[in-house]
């Protein structure tokens, strides 16, 4: 049974920081974690730390990430490999900057920028074709939850995003459950709400790829993860990491969330 063993703590910086701030945020995080004496290799065997800065700072942050044993990821990409698509960025471009991961289908892209399930699915396939590991975000709005439609929404989003993937492709996929009502609001899902959603998603993935592959897939929780709630959330069996927005913009609070993951991992 391929139970995921390395917790993933990912910082989605969204459209924040300028170049200097991005560099100092990454450096300060590295220094804070380093000062505790655990080497990057020791830490990464238990907790993988991913930084997802804005596109223009990927190369700068990537150099710093490499120094401290962090992974680099992008917040989005386009589904075409090359061509006349002004303003868009391809998977190959991201891979050439050192990105390992790319976030796809984030709720802000779905709800603010109008991305459909079909677009997300095309991006997932294009990311894998470029050698990137997709972090596929799914999650319901408060209206959908209150109407009792959470499971229908999650089913539609996840099944569409992984449609047509081979088992080999699926091994590279991370899923992030981010209830829209919890993002940037301070209203975190309860550990039970998150666990139920994760278990539901994992069952859908098991239907499609088999129980072993589904249990090896990391499902992250995102939505107002902070130092004071990280440990309880990460202690849930169904939660293999966190996708952190606001609290990833301060090195101290993001470092505390990484520490919480390390503590859960060793307890
Ligand atoms: P917050 O942690 O600010 O709620 O953002 C969550 C998120 O959207 C991460 O992708």
Q: Which residue of the set 48, 106, 115, 140 is catalytic?
A: 106
In angstroms, what is the span from residue 267 Cα to ligand 1's centroid? 26
Residue 222 CA: which ligand 1 atom is closest?
6
In angstroms, what is the span from residue 171 Cα to ligand 1's centroid? 24
Ligand 1 within 6 A of CB of 246: yes
How high is the pLDDT of residue 3?
Answer: 57
Task: Tell me the mean pLDDT in the region 93-110.
Answer: 98
Ligand 1 within 6 A of CB of 2: no
In angstroms, what is the span from residue 135 Cα to ligand 1's centroid? 14
Whether 191 and 147 have beta carbons less than 8 Å apart is answered as no
* 106 is annotated as an active-site residue: yes
In angstroms, what is the span from residue 22 Cα to ligand 1's centroid? 17
Q: Which residue of the set 108, 115, 140, 178 is catalytic?
A: 178
Q: What is the pTM assigned to this prediction?
A: 0.97
pLDDT digit string (tens) for 111-121? Answer: 999 999 999 99
Fold of 18-266: TIM Barrel (3.20.20)
Ligand 1 within 6 A of CB of 138: no
- The residue ranges of every structural domain in the chain are 18-266
Residue identifier of the C-alpha nearest atom 2 of ligand 1: 245
Ligand 1 within 6 A of CB of 245: yes
Ligand 1 within 6 A of CB of 225: yes
In angstroms, what is the span from residue 141 Cα to ligand 1's centroid? 14
Task: Tell me the mean pLDDT in the region 46-57.
Answer: 97
Residue 14 CA: which ligand 1 atom is closest?
10
pLDDT digit string (tens) for 205-264? Answer: 999 999 999 999 999 999 999 999 999 999 999 999 999 999 999 999 999 999 999 999
CA-to-CA distance for 174 and 6, rounded, in angstroms? 12
Q: Please state which of the ranges 4-8, 126-130, 150-154, 255-259 shows the lowest mean pLDDT.
A: 4-8
Could you please report the per-residue DSSP string of the chain? Answer: -----SEEEEEE-TT---HHHHHHHHHHHHHHHHTTT--HHHHHTTEEEEEE--GGGHHHHHHHHHHHT-EEEES---SSSSSS-TT---HHHHHHTT--EEEES-HHHHHTS---HHHHHHHHHHHHHTT-EEEEEE---HHHHHTT-HHHHHHHHHHHHTTT--HHHHTT-EEEE--GGGTTTS-PPPHHHHHHHHHHHHHHHHHHH-HHHHHHS-EEEESS--HHHHHHHHTSTT--EEEESGGGSSHHHHHHHHHHHHHHHH-
Residue identifier of the C-alpha nearest atom 9 of ligand 1: 245
Is the pLDDT assigned to residue 1 strictly greater than 50?
Answer: no
* 111 is annotated as an active-site residue: no
How high is the pLDDT of residue 180?
Answer: 96
CA-to-CA distance for 165 and 169, rounded, in angstroms? 6
Handedness of CA 46, 214, 244, 129 (dihedral sign): positive
């Amino acid at each position: 049974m391929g139970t995921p063993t390395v917790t993933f703590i990912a910082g989605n910086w969204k459209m924040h920081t300028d170049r200097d701030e991005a560099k100092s945020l990454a450096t300060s995080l590295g220094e804070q974690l380093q000062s505790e004496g655990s080497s990057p290799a020791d830490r990464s065997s238990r907790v993988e730390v991913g930084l997802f800065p804005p596109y223009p700072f990927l190369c700068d942050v990537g150099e710093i990430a490499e120094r401290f044993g962090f992974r680099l990821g992008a917040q989005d990409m386009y589904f075409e490999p090359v061509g006349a698509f002004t303003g868009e960025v391809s998977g190959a471009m991201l891979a050439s900057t050192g990105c390992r991961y790319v976030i796809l289908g984030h709720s802000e892209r779905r709800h603010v920028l109008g991305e459909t399930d079909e677009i997300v699915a095309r991006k997932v396939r294009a990311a894998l074709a470029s050698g990137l590991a997709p972090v596929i975000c799914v999650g319901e709005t408060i209206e959908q939850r209150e109407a009792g439609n959470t499971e229908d929404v999650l089913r539609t989003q996840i099944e569409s995003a992984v449609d047509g993937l081979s088992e080999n492709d699926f091994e590279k996929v991370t899923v992030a459950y981010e209830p829209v009502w919890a993002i940037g609001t301070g209203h975190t899902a309860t550990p039970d709400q998150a666990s139920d959603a994760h278990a539901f998603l994992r069952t859908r993935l098991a239907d499609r790829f088999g129980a072993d592959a589904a249990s090896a897939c990391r499902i992250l929780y995102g939505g107002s993860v902070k130092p004071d709630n990280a440990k309880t959330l990460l202690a849930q069996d169904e939660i293999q990491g966190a996708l952190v927005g606001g609290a990833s913009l301060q090195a101290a609070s993001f470092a505390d969330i990484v520490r919480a993951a390390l503590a859960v991992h060793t307890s």
